[in-house]
């Protein structure tokens, strides 16, 4: 097996001294497309932040390549649009960690930003105020910022949260293009399985309320047993015009005789 880019072994994650989830084992390798799925507040983001080293582990260890070029896309709502920054200035921040404290961004950094914005289709928005952009355009700006660092691994936290179906599809199509059969490893967090079921190659189901952490290949995780472990009820998967549809099945009341 190739060296993972990032991963956890026998890890306990949480805030302070209280573990939210224990015994977590997973790894994201080069070319992977992992989606961490579970309910809101289920511990998905905590696991990802712990794997990236942004949160200290309560037990276990972090694995992966050091140093690793990471591009991180936070939840769009966590980025304050009141700042009077232009989209290009926001994207340029992706170069800051690589520059170090004493160097200023130069022509190479600006060229990388232009290229990243072009890659996500927003090169014409370079000089537009970030706060004036639509939700989808802001999301693309944040993805461009992550790409500007020329990452080996792109990590996204709920990238389609609050989007209408069309924008959600466009964002997921963009991630598929960026992944491009493994050129860029992607790990994303989502509370909507149906949003990622047609794109991810690996799934991780997370729910701290059930002490659930389970990971596997897409087909394995879309089996009824795995899905019912996450949702606590029957969930069906159907294919329609080449796309997987995931939907819960209505519980039928038992007939009392």
Partner 1 sequence: MSPWQSFLEAREIWQVPLTASVIAGALLGALGVYVVLRRTVFVSAALTQLSTLGLVAALLVEERIHIETEQSGVQLAVAIAVSVAGALVLGAIRFRRLPAEAAVGGVWVVASALVVLGASLLAHAAHDLGGLVFGNAVAVPSSDLVIIAAVAAVCLLVHGFFAKELTFVSFDAETARALGVRVGLWDSLLFLTIGLAIPVTARALGALPVFAFLTLPAAAALLGRAGYRAAFPVAAAIGVVAAGGGYVLSWLWEIPTGATMVAIAGVILLPGAVIRLRG
User: Where does this chain bind partner 1 (CB under 8 A)?
Assistant: 15-16, 49, 52-54, 70, 72-74, 78-80, 82-86, 89-90, 93, 96-97, 99, 101-102, 104-105, 129, 145, 149, 155
What SS3 state is found at 183? coil
Cα 84 to Cα 21, 41, 97, 134: the distances in Å are 39, 31, 22, 15
Any residues with CB less than 8 A from the CB of 145 and at least 6 apart, and which?
71, 73, 90, 91, 92, 93, 94, 116
Task: Compare residues 127 and 241 and give the one whose CB is closer to partner 1.
Answer: 127
For the bound state, the minimum distance from the C-beta of residue 211 to partner 1, rounded and expressed in Å, comes to 20
Task: Compare residues 101 and 242 and give the one whose CB is closer to partner 1.
Answer: 101
For the bound state, the minimum distance from the C-beta of residue 138 to partner 1, rounded and expressed in Å, comes to 12
CA distance 152 to 39: 28
Task: Compare residues 49 and 191 and give the one whose CB is closer to partner 1.
Answer: 49
Task: Compare residues 149 and 174 and give the one whose CB is closer to partner 1.
Answer: 149
Task: Compare residues 7 and 227 and give the one whose CB is closer to partner 1.
Answer: 7
Output the DSSP codes for 61-112: EEEE-SS--EEEE--GGGS-TTS--BHHHHHHGGGHHHH-TTPPP-HHHHHH
For the bound state, the minimum distance from the C-beta of residue 16 to partner 1, rounded and expressed in Å, comes to 8
For the bound state, the minimum distance from the C-beta of residue 226 to partner 1, rounded and expressed in Å, comes to 28
For the bound state, the minimum distance from the C-beta of residue 97 to partner 1, rounded and expressed in Å, comes to 5
For the bound state, the minimum distance from the C-beta of residue 61 to partner 1, rounded and expressed in Å, comes to 17
41: left (phi > 0), else alpha (psi -120 to 50), else beta? Answer: left
CA distance 38 to 44: 7
What SS3 state is found at 56? coil
Task: Compare residues 140 and 227 and give the one whose CB is closer to partner 1.
Answer: 140
Task: Give strand pairing partners of 129.
Answer: 86
């Amino acid at each position: 097996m190739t060296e993972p880019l990032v991963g956890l072994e026998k890890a306990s994650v949480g805030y302070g001294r209280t573990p939210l989830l224990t015994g977590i084992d997973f790894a994201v390798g080069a070319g992977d497309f992992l989606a961490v799925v579970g309910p809101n507040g289920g511990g998905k983001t905590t696991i990802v932040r712990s794997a990236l080293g942004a949160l200290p582990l309560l037990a276990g260890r972090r694995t992966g390549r050091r140093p690793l070029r990471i591009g991180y896309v936070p939840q769009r709502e966590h980025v304050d649009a009141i700042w009077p920054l232009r989209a290009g200035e926001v994207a340029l921040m992706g170069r800051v960690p690589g520059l170090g404290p004493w160097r200023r961004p130069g022509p190479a950094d600006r060229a990388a930003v232009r290229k990243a914005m072009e890659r996500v289709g927003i090169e014409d928005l370079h000089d537009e105020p970030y706060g004036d952009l639509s939700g989808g355009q802001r999301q693309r700006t944040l993805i461009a910022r992550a790409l500007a660092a020329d990452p080996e691994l792109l990590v996204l936290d709920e990238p389609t949260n609050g989007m209408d179906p069309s924008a959600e599809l466009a964002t997921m199509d963009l991630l598929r293009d960026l992944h491009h059969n493994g050129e860029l490893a992607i790990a994303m967090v989502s509370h909507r399985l149906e949003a990622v079921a047609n794109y991810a190659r690996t799934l991780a189901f997370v729910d701290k309320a059930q002490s659930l952490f389970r990971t596997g290949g897409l087909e394995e995780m879309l089996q009824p047993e795995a899905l019912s472990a996450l949702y606590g009820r029957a969930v069906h998967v159907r294919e329609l015009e080449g796309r997987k549809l995931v939907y819960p099945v209505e519980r039928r009341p038992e007939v009392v005789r």
